[in-house]
Amino acid sequence: MPPEQGLASAKALFPLGCNKTVTIHLDNPCQPKASGPKSAEAGIQLEPPSMKIIKRLLILGAAASLSIAASAADISGAGATFPYPIYAKWADSYKKLTGVGLNYQSIGSGGGIKQIKAKTVTFGASDMPLKPDDLKSSGLIQFPMIIGGVVPVVNIKGVGPGQLHLDGATVAAIYMGDIKEWNDAAIKKLNPKLTLPSTAIAPVYRSDGSGTNFLFSDYLSKASAKFQSSIGANTSVQWPVGIGAKGNEGVANMTTQTDGAIGYVEYAFAKQNKMSFTTLTNKAGNAVAPNAESFQAAAATADWAGADSYYLIRGPEVFFVGLQGWRWHGGRA
């Protein structure tokens, strides 16, 4: 198994269908406007799973487009902070072309799920896919829109991007409070050539309901039986140690401001804030760095044909790559 396949845990995003909205082209329902950046800073373009799926999305989008065109009102959405950078860019381009705005509240996946279920927004975005039964009972559909990676980031004096190497079990031990200092034997064993300080580790975690939180805790649950039994995987968990911060923005800021900190953010936030990311060990035992190519390679192995309602979570693989999408309420679109 090549190292790049050690990346993935899928996130579901919910697009508003394949209509002429801020997010997609009719000729390629999963591709952002050509003028938008293609890097992880704006989300990675996702190739359509198959022509059959594209046709389905076009049909769904046509219905949504008629309703939106009739009202000519701004589009409302809420949810994950993970895709906010790309949504903001797409919204700006769409506004210039059509005059129709997009009001997206970057409040976390949990908030987005609550709002779309309450029918107070046109779409909700989440990094954690809803199960098929939940979708059916709520009258919702979901499918992936973009991909991005959730990566560990650190603030250790003298340690730059990609210099520190970790594995899932070690990260889990840090977030359980079992590993307390950066020069712990377990970390030094993974980094024999790196000089590490005795600085206390300050784990930073998401304090809000978050799909990013789910992906991270799901990854750690699959890497550590102790983590799974004591903390588990969910959009919101009880972290035994550390500092809470709201949103990817909050975790990025808190990690940057705290000496000895470790956090987890979507790659765009790590890149924009010039943070020191870590490499991780994949299932094949190789060190893998976060970048657009490795995220794409991981997502390419996803079995969409066998995923009911695009409910797909993979692990325990590195970087918990997410397929972000929008959740659309058919009756409101």
Q: Residue 52: helix, strand or coil by DSSP?
A: helix
* Averaged pLDDT for residues 255-270: 94
Please, which contacts does 158-162 make with residues 24 or more away whose CB atoms are closer than 8 Å? Answer: 158/195, 158/197, 159/194, 159/196, 159/276, 160/276, 161/274, 161/275, 161/276, 161/277, 162/276, 162/277, 162/278, 162/279, 162/289
Domain ranges of the chain: 13-145+325-329, 150-292
**Position 196 confidence tier, pLDDT thresholds 50, 70, 90:** very high
Sign (positive or negative) of CA dihedral 47, 84, 261, 246 = negative
Q: Residue 265: helix, strand or coil by DSSP?
A: strand
* Averaged pLDDT for residues 237-256: 95
Give the tens place of pLDDT for each residue, 211-238.
Answer: 888 889 988 998 999 999 999 999 899 9
Give the tens place of pLDDT for each residue, 51-70.
Answer: 444 444 444 444 444 444 43
Q: What is the CATH number of domain 13-145+325-329?
A: 3.40.190.10
Greater pLDDT, 119 or 41? 119
**Position 251 confidence tier, pLDDT thresholds 50, 70, 90:** very high
**Percent residues over pLDDT 90 in the chain:** 40
Q: What's the confidence (pLDDT) of residue 235?
A: 86
Give the tens place of pLDDT for each residue, 81-107.
Answer: 878 888 899 999 999 999 999 999 998
Q: What's the confidence (pLDDT) of residue 128?
A: 80
308 closest CA partner among 178, 105, 108, 131: 131
Neighbouring residues of 40: CB distance < 8 A, sequence distance ≥ 6: 148, 149, 267, 268, 271, 290, 291, 292, 295
Q: What's the confidence (pLDDT) of residue 211?
A: 81
Q: Do domains 13-145+325-329 and 150-292 have the same CATH topology?
A: yes
d(CA 188, CA 201): 14
DSSP string of 216-244, one letter each residue: HHHHHHHH-HHHHHHT--SSS---SSSEE
Give the tens place of pLDDT for each residue, 7-55.
Answer: 233 332 222 222 222 222 222 333 333 333 333 333 444 444 444 444 4
Q: Which two tokens stand for residue 64?
A: 């949504």
* Averaged pLDDT for residues 183-195: 97
d(CA 260, CA 128): 29
207 closest CA partner among 181, 235, 230, 231: 235
Query: Is 77 within 8 Å of 17 (Cβ atoms)?
Result: no
Angle at 101 between CA 97 and CA 105, to 5 degrees: 140
Q: What's the confidence (pLDDT) of residue 312?
A: 64
Q: What value does the mean pLDDT of the chain take?
A: 75
Query: Is 85 within 8 Å of 111 (Cβ atoms)?
Result: no
Q: 271-295 as b/e, with b when 16 or more CB fall inside 10 Å?
A: beeebbbbbbbbbeebbbbbbbebb
Q: What's the confidence (pLDDT) of residue 146?
A: 76
Q: What's the confidence (pLDDT) of residue 142?
A: 85
**Position 314 confidence tier, pLDDT thresholds 50, 70, 90:** low
* Averaged pLDDT for residues 123-149: 84
Q: 242-267 as b/e, with b when 16 or more CB fall inside 10 Å?
A: bbebbbbbbbbbbbbebebbbbbbbb
Q: What's the confidence (pLDDT) of residue 313?
A: 60
Yes or no: domain 150-292 corresponds to CATH 3.30.420.40: no
Look at the pTM and tell me if it is higher than 0.85: no
Q: What's the confidence (pLDDT) of residue 148?
A: 73
Query: Helices 109-117 and 211-223 sit at what angle, rounded to 10 degrees?
Result: 120
